[in-house]
Structure formats: C-alpha cells, structure tokens
C-alpha cells in the first residue's frame, strides 16, 4: 500500500544546464497537480501532468521545475526597448528643463547608464526536444523517490493497521464467548417483558409483535458472524496491490455498524466495554486510512 504523503527530487543535464524537479505530495481526495515552471518551459505542462497521472492515483502534488545554467553560458546585452524608452524620457526631461531655465541640456552616456536593468543576461535557447527529454528524465527520478517514500510510509501504516485489527479480533473473540451469557440475560428480560404484557392484557397481535421484537434483540450471533467476515476481508485487503483505501473504508463502516448493533442489543456490561473498545480501534483506523492512496 502507498501513503499519499511523500517527497522526491531528480536532476538531469540539458546542453550544459541542470534541470531540477521536486515533488511534494499530501492528502487529497483526488489527484491535484500544482506546477511551478519557468516561462521557457510552459510548453511542457501537459507532458508533466500526463506523466504524473500515470504514476500517482491520488493526492495533492506540488511540482517545482528549475533550470540552472553555468554563468559562462550567459552573454550580456542591452535591452533595446528599455534603451529607447530611456532616451525618449531623457530628451523629454531636457526639453522641459530648457523651457524652465532657458539653458540647453544634452543627455549624456552617464545618464543612460543610470537606467535600471538596461543590461540583461541573455541565456542561450535550448532545443525543445532536448529540454523535454531532460525534464522528463529528472521528473522520472523525482517520481521514483516520491513513490519510494510513499511505499515506506504505507508499509508503516499497514503495520499499525494490522496491530489495531488484531486488537479488534481479540475483542470480537471475547464478545463471541460472552454471547451465550448475553442471550441468557436477554432471555430473562424477554420473559419479564412478556409477563408484563400478559398482565396488561394487550391484544394478541400486539403481544406477538412485542415478542418478535424482543426475541430479535436477544441475539447478537448474526452481528458477530458478519463482523468476523468483515475482519477477514479487511486483513486480506491489507496485502492487496493497488488502491485499497476505498475498500478498507467501506469495510470499517460495516464493522462499525455491526459493533454498534451489538451494543444496542445487550445490557451486559462486559460486552458494552468491549463494544466501546472496538469502536475506538475502528475509528482510529478510519482516520489513518485517509492517508492511503
């Protein structure tokens, strides 16, 4: 089984540059991918999403991609648009100053050099196919790391679930042993109630209905049997491959239903205490499987 939380990173080289991909995954009902890409890699968004969709079933995944080039690969150049804008503004300022002072002012080189971000580092363009191959290579490494961590956490979670399901099995076995005592206690209540109904001289149809209802509440054998089946199914599912979280959640819901019915059918304190303990274990497992893929 796989957890939905994990981290993975990967690197690859593209034309002397380094591509780094980082993946972080947390719980989510469906697959939700949030990408952070440089503008030069925007065309790879579809490829990245498709790759992750094949590898991950559920979870909110944050994917960060960075491209780092060696400093020697960049060349300095003048931002011509910014240069023309700067020249225009300097001329406009000189003309206005001349109107105010009647003196001629000529823009000089030092004025142009004061323009912010006039010089920019121009990175060489990478071949689109090479860039795509490099990103997917780094993404594959990152995904392998992510899945490895998800698998490790999933194994730890499986161990915890096995420990708790074993506890429920022991408690269930204790309930089965106490069931005859519970039936005897319920039979006593049934006999007492029937006598009360006879003394009240209620009509026969009503008496038959009350007796049937009380007789049904006197037996927890069916609930014990169904709970045993659900426990076996849950244990088997823990060793299955693929997405098992939904199946486990359904089985836990059914277990809770059977345990709850046991508690409502008997007043035997020993069984009531076991029912409370089983409910606590089942509720804890329901919380834990929310982290399973």
Contact partners, residue 172, CB within 8 Å, separation at least 6: 224, 227, 228, 231, 278
User: Tens digit of pLDDT per residue, the chain (293 long)?
Assistant: 889 999 999 999 987 789 999 999 999 888 999 999 988 889 999 999 999 999 998 899 999 999 887 655 556 677 788 878 888 888 888 888 888 888 887 777 777 777 777 776 554 555 788 889 999 999 999 999 999 999 999 999 999 999 999 999 999 999 999 888 876 766 666 666 667 666 666 666 665 666 566 655 667 888 999 999 999 999 999 888 777 888 999 999 999 999 999 988 888 889 999 999 999 999 999 999 988 88
In this prediction, residue 98 carries a pLDDT of 81
Upper half-sphere CA count for residue 210 (Cβ side, 13 Å): 18
For residue 62, what are the contacts with CB-CB under 8 A and spacing of at least 6? 23, 24, 25, 34, 36
The SS3 call for residue 136 is helix
Same domain, 232 and 161: yes
Is 1 contained in some domain? no
Q: What pLDDT was estimated at residue 181?
A: 81
**CA 7/CA 24 separation, integer angstroms:** 5
Tell whether 33 and 59 lie within a shared domain: yes
Q: Which pLDDT does position 75 carry in this prediction?
A: 64
- Confirm whether 145 is domain-assigned: yes
Question: Same structural domain for residues 91 and 144?
Answer: no
In this structure, the answer to whether residues 115 and 139 fall within a common structural domain is: no
Question: In this structure, are 42 and 166 located in the same domain?
Answer: no
What pLDDT does residue 258 have?
95
CATH of the domain at 137: 3.30.230.10
Same domain, 158 and 275: yes
d(CA 40, CA 128): 10
State the Cα–Cα distance between residues 145 and 7, nearest whole angstrom.
7
Same domain flag for 65 and 201: no
Domain count, the chain: 3
Examine the domain organization and report whether 114 and 142 are in the same domain: no
Is pTM, for the whole model, over 0.85? Answer: no
Residue 132 lies in a domain: yes
Q: Are residues 84 and 171 in the same domain?
A: no
- DSSP of 185-226, one letter per residue? HHHHHHHHHHHHHHHTT--HHHHHHHHHHHHHHT--HHHHHH
Q: Whole domain around residue 116: which residue ranges? A: 75-122
The pair of three-digit structure tokens given for residue 190, joined into one six-digit string: 């049934």
- Do 143 and 278 lie in one domain? The reply is no
Q: Based on the domain organization, do 205 and 106 belong to the same domain?
A: no
**133 in the same domain as 201:** no
Give the pLDDT of residue 212: 60
Q: DSSP strand E in the chain: where? A: 6-14, 17-26, 31-36, 59-68, 75-78, 119-122
């Amino acid at each position: 089984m796989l957890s939905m939380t994990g981290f993975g990173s990967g690197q690859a080289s593209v034309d002397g540059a380094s591509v780094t991909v980082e993946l972080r995954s947390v719980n989510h009902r469906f697959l939700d991918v949030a990408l952070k890409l440089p503008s030069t890699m925007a065309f790879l968004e579809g490829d990245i999403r498709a790759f992750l969709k094949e590898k991950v079933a559920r979870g909110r995944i944050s994917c960060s991609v960075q491209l780092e080039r060696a400093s020697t690969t960049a060349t300095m150049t003048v931002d011509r648009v910014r240069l023309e804008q700067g020249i225009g503004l300097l001329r406009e300022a000189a003309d206005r100053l001349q109107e105010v002072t009647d003196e001629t002012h000529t823009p000089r080189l030092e004025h142009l050099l004061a323009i912010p971000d006039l010089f920019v580092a121009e990175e060489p363009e990478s071949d689109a196919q090479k860039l795509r191959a490099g990103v997917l290579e780094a993404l594959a490494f990152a995904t392998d790391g992510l899945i490895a961590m998800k698998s490790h956490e999933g194994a730890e979670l499986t161990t915890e679930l096995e420990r708790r399901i074993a506890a429920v099995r022991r408690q269930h076995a204790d309930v089965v042993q106490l069931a005859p005592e519970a039936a005897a206690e319920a039979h006593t209540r049934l006999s007492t109630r029937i006598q009360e109904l006879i003394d009240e001289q209620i009509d026969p149809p009503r008496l038959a209905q009350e007796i049937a209802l009380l007789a049904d509440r006197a037996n927890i054998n069916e609930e014990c049997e169904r709970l045993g089946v659900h426990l076996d199914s849950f244990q088997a599912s823990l060793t299955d491959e693929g997405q098992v979280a939904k199946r486990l959640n359904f089985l836990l819901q059914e277990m809770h239903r059977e345990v709850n019915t046991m508690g409502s059918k008997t007043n035997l304190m020993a069984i009531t205490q076991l029912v409370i303990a089983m409910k606590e274990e089942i509720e804890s497992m329901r919380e834990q499987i929310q982290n399973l893929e």
